[in-house]
Amino acid sequence: MARAVDVPAPSLRQRPWVRLAAPLLLVVLLAVLPLVLPESTNETLARIGVFAVAVLGLNVVMGYTGQVSLGQIFFLGLGAYITGYGVQQDWNIVLVFLLACLGAAAAGLLVALAAARLGGLAIAMVTIALPIVGVPLAKRLSDYTGGSQGLSARFADAPEATGLYDDQWQLYVVLVIGGIVFLLTRSLVRGKFGRAFAIVKGNEAVAASMGISPYRYKVLAFTIASLIGGVSGFLYMFVIQYTSPETMSFGHSIELLAAMVIGGAGSIVGSLLGGAWYVLVPELTNQVDSSLTALLQGVVLLAVLFVLPGGLASLVRRLGRGRRRLRAEPGPGASPTTPLSTAGSATATEETGTEKRGHA
């Protein structure tokens, strides 16, 4: 007689009502928070959202596709300059947004077409040149960029019909645009393109043998990352309302890369954590000792990577695995049981042995 098999009850996260209620609760929370938080907190959260989008773009090309890119800050700066110039020329703001995105994507496509056939350090060298060339180029094109003085544009005032303060309006815009970008990117990396990115990252020879063109998907990843960089540039100008050649400096590019590694490469949540690290850690280290800011940031970086090599996002996965192991361990009074498959195998072995003795 077959024994009944105990089917474990689904965890709380796997229940249908939780999967429906959690996103709704998150949307309600994000809609209410800007109304109750102080102005300084809203401004900080808006800046975190700007750089979280920038880290997300870097994650597409490095975390998911495995290609080295040290020029993501260039596309953020390019999007910011296009936005500032368009606002000063009184262009339609929707047109300005599209131009910032498409202009950065076009620049990224041109770089990718030349760099994607290369590998390893060669790609790194090409992308390193972007911020190095971008800073003097921005200074020279002073008619469009303001030169060394930079470019300012104020267009983030809250419409009177909304009844919102400026800081609340800015945070809502960042949440809406950034949230759409994160959802679209999540769908991308979880679909067929994401699987192709993962195969290219693992082994380009295997990808080619499976009919997946490494060159095509590397170009696609670079272009998408550049487009997301243009979005972050638009949001940067929307929130900061000022940009200069120093925005595209190589030092900021390294800080953006460190933020991606700290948050967690190849992780959507890691991009959010990376944006928070990019904004909050320099402020905290400045409060400790402004002359030791770089040293303290390096110490924090090494400490986090030593404890969590996968970044801060891996901490959530570790906690989840720990809870599952605790649930799987039998209690102190539990009696050992023999799996059905093992018992069945033993019976079949005994019957086979009896048949052999009978034939003998």
Tell me the angle at which helices 93-115 and 72-88 cross, rounded to the nearest 10 degrees. 150
Q: What pLDDT is stored for residue 356 in this prediction?
A: 44
User: Among residues 231, 261, 289, which one ends one of the domains?
Assistant: 289
Q: What pLDDT is stored for residue 204 in this prediction?
A: 86
Q: What pLDDT is stored for residue 235 in this prediction?
A: 96
324 vs 336: CA distance, rounded Å: 20
In a domain, residue 82? The reply is yes
Please state the separation of Cα 133 from the chain's center in Å.
26
Q: Which range of residues forms the domain containing residue 319? A: 308-360
DSSP E strands in the chain: the ranges are: 151-152, 242-243
Q: What pLDDT is stored for residue 24 in this prediction?
A: 82
Given a contact cutoff of 8 angstroms between Cβ atoms, the answer to whether 95 and 86 are in contact is yes
Q: Are residues 243 and 216 in the same domain?
A: yes
Of 353, 346, 60, 352, nearest to 196 by C-alpha is 60
Mean pLDDT (the chain, rounded)? 83
What is the reported pTM? 0.83
The tokens of 244 are what? 């200069």
Q: What pLDDT is stored for residue 302 in this prediction?
A: 87
In a domain, residue 156? The reply is yes
170 vs 174: CA distance, rounded Å: 6
The dihedral through the CA atoms of 57, 62, 68, 70 has a sign that is positive
In a domain, residue 17? The reply is no
Q: Are residues 131 and 66 in the same domain?
A: yes
The angle subtended at Cα 43 by Cα 42 and Cα 47, nearest 5°, is 115
Using 50 as the pLDDT threshold, list the residues of the chain that sit under it.
1, 335, 337-360
Q: Are residues 232 and 181 in the same domain?
A: yes
Q: What pLDDT is stored for residue 76 in this prediction?
A: 95
57 vs 137: CA distance, rounded Å: 23
Q: Are residues 316 and 284 in the same domain?
A: no
67 burial type by CB count under 10 A (0-12 exposed, 13-18 middle, 19+ buried): buried
